[in-house]
C-alpha cells in the first residue's frame, strides 16, 4: 500500500540580518535533508521540491527554504552583484538557519542547479557541518557556455509574461507531452512572485552582466572530500551535462549519474530515479 504524502509546513524564521521562508516535512530528530532550489525567475522551495519532500517526509526531516533573494525570504535592499556573491551570502545564512532549526551534526545537501553551487559554497565554508551532497544539474564549472535556455532565464524581465514563462520552463524538461500540466502549474505558482518589485530587483542583481561569472577552481574542488553524487539529465539544455562531468572529475569522492531522456528538472521528470539515488546516497550505498 503506498505511503500517504507528508503535509508541508511553511513558516518564517528570522535570523536578525535576514529571514527565511522555510517549507518542511518530517520531524526534527529524523535524518535531515537540506534541499536548495535553483535560480529561475519566481523559484521557491516548493516549486522545486514539493513532490520530493511530500514523499520523503515520513522518514526524513526535509527542509526546503526559499533562498535569500527568492520567494518569501529576504530580498536585500542593496543585494550583492552576481550569483557568486549572493551564493556566499546564502551559504553563510543557511548555516544560521540550521542553528535556528536545531539541526545538529552534518546535514545532507541536495542542490538543484544554483542550489548545487550553494551546496559547494557551504562545503567550502564549513565542511564539518556538511554531509554527503547530491548536486543535480549543478552549475559551477568554469567558463560554462551560456545556453539559449540560460540566456532566456537571464533576460526574462525583458518580457515577464506568462507566455514567456511557459516557454522558459518548457526548456527545463525533455518531454513536454508528459509534463505540460506540471509546467502550467508552475507557471501559475510563479507569476505572482515575478510581478513583485523585490523579486525583480534580486533577479537583476544576480544576473548583472558586469559581475564576475560564477564558477569554482580545480583547487577549490580538490579541497572538498565529501561524498558527492552529481546527477544530470542527458538532455538538459539549461545547464549542459558537461558541468556535472567537470565537477565529478575534480571532486575527490564524486560519482556521476546521467539520466537519459531527461532535462534540467530530474527531480520532476525522473522522480522515482531521483528518489532512489538520493536515498541510496544517504544510506551509504553509493
Q: Give the active site residue among 39, 47, 113, 244.
A: 113
Q: How many Å apart are CA 139 and CA 153, to the nearest integer? A: 14
Which entry of 75, 250, 257, 264 is annotated as an active-site residue?
A: 264
The reply to whether 264 belongs to the active site is yes
For residue 83, give the C-alpha cell. Answer: 550569483
Catalytic residue, candidates 138, 203, 236, 250: 236
List all residues 6 or more positions away from 190 whose beta carbon is below 8 Å from its beta carbon: 40, 41, 42, 43, 44, 47, 165
Residue 177 annotated among the catalytic residues of the structure? no
Catalytic status, residue 174: no
Q: What is the 3-state secondary structure (H, E, C) of the chain?
A: CCCCCCCCEEEEEECCCCEEEEEEECCECEEEEEEECCCCCCCCHHHHHHHHHHHHCCCEEEEEECCCCCCCCCCCCCCCCCHHHHHHHHHHHHHHHHHHCCCCCCEEEEEECHHHHHHHHHHHHCHHHEEEEEEECCCCCCCCCCCHHHHHHHCHHHCCCHHHHHHHHHCCCCCHHHHHHHHHHHHHHHHHHHCCHHHHHHHHHHCCCCCCCCCCCHHHHHCCCCCEEEEEECCCCCCCCHHHHHHHHHCCCEEEEEECCCCCCHHHHCHHHHHHHHHHHHCCCC
Give the catalytic positions in this structure: 113, 236, 264
Amino acid at each position: 500500500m503506498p505511503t500517504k504524502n507528508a503535509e508541508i509546513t511553511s513558516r518564517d524564521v528570522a535570523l536578525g540580518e535576514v529571514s527565511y521562508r522555510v517549507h518542511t516535512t518530517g520531524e526534527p530528530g529524523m535524518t535531515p535533508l537540506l534541499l536548495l532550489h535553483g535560480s529561475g525567475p519566481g523559484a521557491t522551495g516548493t516549486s522545486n521540491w514539493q513532490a520530493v519532500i511530500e514523499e520523503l517526509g515520513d522518514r526524513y526531516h526535509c527542509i526546503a527554504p526559499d533562498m535569500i533573494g527568492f520567494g518569501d525570504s529576504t530580498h536585500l535592499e542593496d543585494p550583492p552583484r552576481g550569483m557568486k556573491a549572493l551564493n556566499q551570502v546564502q551559504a553563510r545564512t543557511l548555516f544560521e538557519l540550521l542553528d535556528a532549526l536545531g539541526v545538529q551534526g552534518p546535514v545532507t545537501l541536495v542542490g538543484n542547479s544554483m542550489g548545487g553551487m550553494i551546496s559547494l559554497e557551504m562545503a567550502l565554508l564549513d565542511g564539518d557541518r556538511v554531509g554527503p551532497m547530491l548536486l543535480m544539474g549543478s552549475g559551477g564549472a568554469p567558463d560554462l557556455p551560456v545556453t539559449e535556455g540560460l540566456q532566456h532565464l537571464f533576460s526574462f524581465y525583458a518580457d515577464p509574461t506568462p507566455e514567456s514563462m511557459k516557454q522558459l520552463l518548457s526548456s527545463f524538461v525533455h518531454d513536454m507531452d508528459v509534463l505540460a500540466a506540471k509546467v502550467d502549474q508552475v507557471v501559475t505558482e510563479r507569476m505572482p512572485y515575478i510581478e513583485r518589485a523585490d523579486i525583480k530587483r534580486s533577479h537583476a542583481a544576480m544576473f548583472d552582466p558586469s559581475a564576475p561569472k560564477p564558477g569554482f577552481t580545480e583547487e577549490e574542488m580538490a579541497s572538498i572530500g565529501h561524498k558527492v553524487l552529481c546527477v544530470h539529465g542527458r538532455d538538459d539544455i539549461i545547464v549542459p551535462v558537461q558541468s556535472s562531468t567537470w565537477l565529478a572529475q575534480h571532486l575527490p569522492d564524486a560519482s556521476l549519474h546521467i539520466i537519459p531522456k531527461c532535462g534540467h528538472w530530474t527531480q520532476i521528470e525522473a522522480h522515482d530515479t531521483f528518489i532512489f539515488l538520493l536515498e541510496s546516497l544517504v544510506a551509504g550505498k553509493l
